[in-house]
A = this chain, B = another copy of it.
Amino acid sequence: MDALVQLTWRVYDILDDAARAHDLSTSQLRLLGILRDREPEMLELAGHLGVDKSSVSGLVDRAAARGLVERVPSATDRRRIAVRLTEAGRAQREILETEIYTAIDRAGLTLPPGARSTVTP
């Protein structure tokens, strides 16, 4: 049980290092990961990230300022705004993914095949 928490910190450190190497935060990294196969609106995004909607505004602002994501206004409800990766954001995410997997592998932190189904319902 403690092993799971220790594992979490070790992987978290790897994620943080990888993000930092590209001058990104773990929150920005997580944002890119969530947007890989989604185009959520701000509130929905807040739910995925587990933070308040007001925090998402700033998070998306900074990611957009770096050209990684863009806001997409809804055609039917002018209050709603979706967020999606730009091409640059998609490329950045893929680079990070590769580096992270390499680092995880190098650290010898691979879940055995049997654990995967247990762990990702």
Contacts and interface: CB of A to CB of B under 8 A. Distances in A.
Interface of A: 1, 3-9, 11-13, 15-16, 30, 33, 50, 100-101, 104, 108-112, 114-116, 118-121
Contact of A119 (B30, B109, B118): B109
Given A13-B50, A112-B115, A114-B114, A6 B100 contact: no
Interface SS of chain A: helix
A108 B32 CA distance: 26
A8 B1 contact: no
Contacts of A118: 108, 110-112
Nearest to A116: B3
Given A9-B30, A30-B9, A50-B16, A4 B111 contact: yes
